[in-house]
């Protein structure tokens, strides 16, 4: 089991750095310092390897988002932390990974989309309900409808036809999308809280630079 976890971890690292299509099973075996025969004893093929990595990743993502929800002081801070989590994830990933998934590993890509539609929907819906209860989000919004709209829009964040990578940074697209969402659902109190958090983050960034 330790070798299997090492295989998955190294493969994920290589895929994020170089893209999925360009990394072969031979490359992975060399990086691990094992024979190709040993590699195939633990992973039958590349498609199954990718599926296992994504399954593990989706579980880790769920845990991370649950932790964000528990630690955030309010709904606005929760959404800002979710944005930061997504940005860090994108920074750690080659631009070709999502393209390779969509083109060459459709089944795995569809699994990601199902997770996105189901799990992210529930995360956002819960956040909207929380924000309404805290008086930070508007009372006239329907959490179920807004959460579905949010999910449908986030699928376009990684659409390179809409946001060509030479013109747009995915991190900034995510940031703008989150701010657009929060400002749209926030009450006056929520907007004041958002301004407070953004000012604090700007001051922190200036002190660190």
Q: What is the pLDDT of residues 2-40, one digit of tens each?
A: 899 999 999 999 998 888 999 999 999 999 999 999 999
Q: Where are the alpha helices (DSSP H) in the chain?
A: 2-18, 25-32, 36-42, 46-71, 75-91, 96-104, 106-115, 121-133, 143-154, 170-185, 188-208
More confident position, 202 or 137: 137
Give the C-alpha separation, 153 to 147, whole Å: 10
Q: What is the C-alpha to C-alpha distance for residues 188 and 182, in angstroms, rounded to an integer?
A: 12
| In the predicted structure, residue 197 carries a pLDDT above the cut 90 | yes
How many CB atoms are closer than 10 A to CB 5? Answer: 11
* Average pLDDT value for residue range 135-152: 96
Q: Place 1 in a pLDDT band, splitting at 50, 70 and 90.
A: low
d(CA 176, CA 171): 9
User: Does the pLDDT at position 191 exceed 70?
Assistant: yes
- Interval 175-193 mean pLDDT: 96
The per-residue pLDDT of the chain, averaged, comes to 90
Instruction: Please report the domains of the chain, with CATH numbers, ordered by start residue.
Output: 1-44 (1.10.10.60), 54-208 (1.10.357.10)
Q: Report pLDDT digits (tens) over 55-100.
A: 888 888 889 999 999 999 999 999 999 989 888 887 777 778 878 8
| pLDDT computed for residue 209 by the predictor | 62
Question: What is d(CA 156, CA 41) in angstroms, rounded to the nearest whole number?
Answer: 38
């Amino acid at each position: 089991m330790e070798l299997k976890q090492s295989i998955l971890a190294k493969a994920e690292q290589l895929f994020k750095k170089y893209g999925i299509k360009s990394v072969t099973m031979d490359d992975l075996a060399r990086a691990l310092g094992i024979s190709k025969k040993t590699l195939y004893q633990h992973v039958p093929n590349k498609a199954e390897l990718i599926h296992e990595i994504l399954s593990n990743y989706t579980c880790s993502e769920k845990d991370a988002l649950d932790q964000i929800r528990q630690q955030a002081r309010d709904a606005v801070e929760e959404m800002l932390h979710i944005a930061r989590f997504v940005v860090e994830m994108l920074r750690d990933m080659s631009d070709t990974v999502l393209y390779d998934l969509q083109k060459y590993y459709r089944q795995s890509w569809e699994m990601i989309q199902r997770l996105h539609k189901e799990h992210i929907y529930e995360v956002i819906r819960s956040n909207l309900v929380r924000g309404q209860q805290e008086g930070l989000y508007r009372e006239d919004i329907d959490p179920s409808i807004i959460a579905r709209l949010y999910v449908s829009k986030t699928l376009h964040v990684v659409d390179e036809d809409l946001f060509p990578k030479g013109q747009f940074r995915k991190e900034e697209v995510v940031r703008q999308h989150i701010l657009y969402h929060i400002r749209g659902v926030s009450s006056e109190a929520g907007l004041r809280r958002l301004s407070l958090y953004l000012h604090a983050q700007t001051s922190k960034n200036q002190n660190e630079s």
